[in-house]
Chains A and B, each alone.
Chain A
Amino acid sequence: MLKVQNLTKVYEDGTVALKDVSFEVPDGQFVAVIGLSGSGKSTLLRCINRLIEPTSGEIWWNDTHISHISGEELRRARRQIGMIFQHFNLVDRSSVLTNVLSGRLGYINSMSSILGRFPEEDVQRAYTSLARVGIRDKANNLADELSGGQRQRVGIARALMQEPQMILADEPVASLDPALAHSIMRHLLQINQEDNITVLCSLHFLDLVQQYSTRAIALNEGQLVFDGTPQEIDDDKFVEIYGREAERIG
């Protein structure tokens, strides 16, 4: 269970990215985070695993007070939360296998990871994760030899290595064509349903939101303006979320 209370983020240049955002996510939900570019979606997701320091407010993850821990505790909390990125964020010059194994770093000690030694079961787990997203045969390729869709699947495999209880997906399909986008979203949905992993996924297209998510929350200029099922987003709500000039395309 994720609980966000009065979360506010003000950047050093004075930009207010999040303003008093509060919501709860019970385990196993597939939550879409929607809103215009710059509405605070990425900041929200990054505050949850503390890649960005919140200015004020509380974040609870199960019994962990995520907003107030540091060092080893933060590391242990982070490894339960997988993350997937718009630009995949793979290490291009490393092999796919190494990229996937790096999802395990939170579990193994510094010394053996510096030497590049992973336990045998982690290597097996990496192959299993790759098989699950359908690219087991690419394990020994360099990451930059892969196509966009394949790269995002490596990203998912890396997140799966963490045995996460929640996955944060920051516009995972924004750099992909519609066909690939659906394939990636199906993988996320499958993980959500089979492993009961909570998914918090920011999305641009409403048809994807309606097709895959069970709940949507919307941000506008850092404020929570909508929280409900995707079906509840009618034309009025749409204008409220995206502003008057926006035109519904999906």
Chain B
Amino acid sequence: MSDKNRHGRSRLSWRTVLIILVIFLLYAYGLQVTKVDLQEPLEPRRQENLVSLLRDLAQPDFFSHDTETRNTAVSIHMPCPGEIKGTQVTIEGREALMVPNCATTTQDRIRISGEGFQPNADGVLAWRPIGATTSRRLADFKVSPDGQIDVTFTMPDIRPTEEAQKIEIVEILSRRITGLSDTTMEALDKIVETVLMALMASTIGTILAIPLSFFAASNLMRDVKAPLAGIMAGVILAPIMGGLGWWAANSAAQPLLGLIGQNLQFLRTDLGFFNFIGNFIFVLLEMMMQLLPLAIALIGALLAVSLGGRFGQQAAMHMAEAPARILTFALTIGGTAVLFIIIAYSLNWINLFGIREFLPEATAAQIKLFAIPGLVLGGIAGLLSLRASPKYHYAIGILIYTLTRGVFNGVRSIEPLMMGFVFVIWVGLGPFAGIMALTLHSMADLGKLFSEQVENINQGPVEAVTATGANFTQSIVYAVVPQITPHYIAYIFYRWDINVRMSTIIGFVGGGGIGFVLNRTINLTAYSQASVMIIAIAVVVTILDNISARIRSRII
């Protein structure tokens, strides 16, 4: 017994050693792959760069200034001529002595001392390299109370020239804040845009997610079962009624859209300060008209599924076995063919098989082309459908649940930044692309969170309401909705919070908002401007974080 034990223990420790070894190798390899280098950050040049970046970031460009300066120029030679001397200049009672008056390497220390400067003034030493448009700051100094200066500096870089170059001693005589800087104004403008982007995305995402979340709740969908005839009747009717709805709404919406464009233009131009409200109403109307055909088509399709489902179910359940079988057979052929045509048409539209150019362009011609293989496939499916009783109820709900869940998880796993990239290509640069990316991600994310709330409800009330004779819709409205509403509201705020944070960076791919400006200022190395953007983001995110946390804690 003890022998066996000892054997077991030794095997265990042997395994532990192996695991430690593997972990060690993993980290060793990781260190090499991730190129961890401790030398580089310690180099003086790198540290200089870091310091200068941090200094700019620590001096955010909040205000615009009115600055009065006085310059005193001293000549410097690069490289040093044979004999090294100092230079003395005297201008309007200011005396400055620079020793030495030349630099050969970036290590050469140069000292400027002088007197007669404005007491207590701040100042900088600036050098404009030959051919450069902006001056480079060499060092900061402060004039002593008795007007003396004493600064030591090195040249950051040697630009050899024949003639002497100028080092300017710049005194800042006075400096007054005249108002907010352009950067601050832009930051305010863009942060409002960012918050509104997040708001729009959260709102539209929520509107889309709420109905979809019910389809992704297993406790609701588990019991949705229908005979094959019902399912197939729905599949056949859905594109027909959806298409009819699209056509009807489109023919009504297009003239209306024209009317709005012609007669309501004044909303955007003639309201003075309130133009933005007019514009909002205008865009809202326009959007509604654009989306109307889609919405009507969807409603038509849903109605068709419900009607077709009911018709098929009633027919299959009430007919005798043989005619029900024939009906199911026929509907299955039709339904499968319709499904095949729709799928083939969509795949061909994105040219997945690379054969788009060999097929006729017109929709009707393509449908005709796909109809024959569709019907063949339908025939096979129809024959297969004969194997089961036409009254057998298929768990179609689970299929819908699985599909919806799959789409949610798939879309959720794609970063909004990637989606932003795609939408920028589709709808162009700007906040609209950002809104679309965030909307899509919000919809999938909220849809999943919402559906989990639906799954977590107490089933008791649903059972009770069902027992009173309520139908499916009524039991959702009366037993499910009251239970999930507070959680939904909490999630909406949480999502808004996330969207604000995401919309600050979605601008990096051109999706509008403050990220767009932040990206630009960083690329221009205008770090003190970038700093304003970063601070604006931090402030807004913190505030919204607080608000949303407070609202959530109050609701739940």
Chain A residues at the B interface, C-beta cutoff of 8 Å: 49, 51, 70-71, 75-79, 81-83, 85, 87-94, 98, 102-107, 110, 113-114, 155, 158-159, 161-162, 168
B464-485 interface with A by 8 A CB criterion: 464-471, 473-475, 477-479, 482-483, 485
Question: CA A110 – CA B478 in complex, angstroms?
Answer: 11
For chain B, what secondary structure do more than half of its interface residues adopt (helix, strand, loop), or is it mixed? helix
Interface pair B464/A71, CB less than 8 Å apart: no
Question: CA A98 – CA B473 in complex, angstroms?
Answer: 16
Q: How far is the CB of A88 from chain B (nearest CB, A)?
A: 8
B486 at the interface (CB under 8 A from A): yes
Question: CA A78 – CA B460 in complex, angstroms?
Answer: 17
Interface pair A114/B474, CB less than 8 Å apart: yes
Interface pair A158/B464, CB less than 8 Å apart: yes
* Nearest residue, chain B, Cβ from A113: B474
B4-30 interface with A by 8 A CB criterion: none
Chain B residues at the A interface, C-beta cutoff of 8 Å: 310, 313-314, 317, 460-461, 463-471, 473-475, 477-479, 482-483, 485-486
Question: CA A218 – CA B43 in complex, angstroms?
Answer: 89
Given A81-B467, A82-B468, 12 other A-B contacts at CB below 8 A?
Answer: A51-B463, A71-B314, A83-B467, A91-B461, A91-B482, A98-B478, A102-B470, A105-B469, A105-B470, A114-B473, A155-B464, A162-B468
List 15 A–B pairs whose Cβ atoms lie within 8 Å, in order of A's numbering.
A75-B469, A83-B468, A85-B460, A85-B464, A90-B461, A91-B478, A91-B482, A93-B482, A93-B486, A94-B482, A105-B465, A113-B470, A113-B474, A113-B477, A158-B468
Question: CA A75 – CA B317 in complex, angstroms?
Answer: 16
Give chain A residues whose Cβ lies under 8 Å from the Cβ of B465.
91, 102, 105
Interface pair B469/A90, CB less than 8 Å apart: no
* Nearest residue, chain B, Cβ from A94: B482
Q: How far is the CB of B99 from chain A (nearest CB, A)?
A: 83
Question: CA A43 – CA B483 in complex, angstroms?
Answer: 26
Give chain A residues whose Cβ lies under 8 Å from the Cβ of B473.
110, 114
Among A71, A91, A110, A161, residue most surrounded by chain B Cβ atoms (within 10 Å)? A91
Question: CA A102 – CA B477 in complex, angstroms?
Answer: 10
Interface pairs A-B: 8 shortest CB-CB: A106-B469, A79-B469, A89-B460, A105-B470, A89-B464, A78-B469, A83-B467, A91-B461
Task: Given A78-B469, A79-B469, decide whether A105 and B464 contact each other with a Cβ distance below 8 A.
Answer: no
Interface pair B477/A114, CB less than 8 Å apart: yes
Question: CA A106 – CA B202 in complex, angstroms?
Answer: 36
Give chain B residues whose Cβ lies under 8 Å from the Cβ of A92.
482-483
Task: Given A51-B463, A89-B464, decide whether A76 and B469 contact each other with a Cβ distance below 8 A.
Answer: yes
Q: How far is the CB of A161 from chain B (nearest CB, A)?
A: 8
Question: CA A87 – CA B70 in complex, angstroms?
Answer: 86
Q: How far is the CB of B3 from chain A (nearest CB, A)?
A: 45
Give chain A residues whose Cβ lies under 8 Å from the Cβ of B477.
113-114
Interchain CB contact (< 8 A) of A89 among B317, B463, B486: B463
* Nearest residue, chain A, Cβ from B313: A71
Interface pair B468/A106, CB less than 8 Å apart: yes
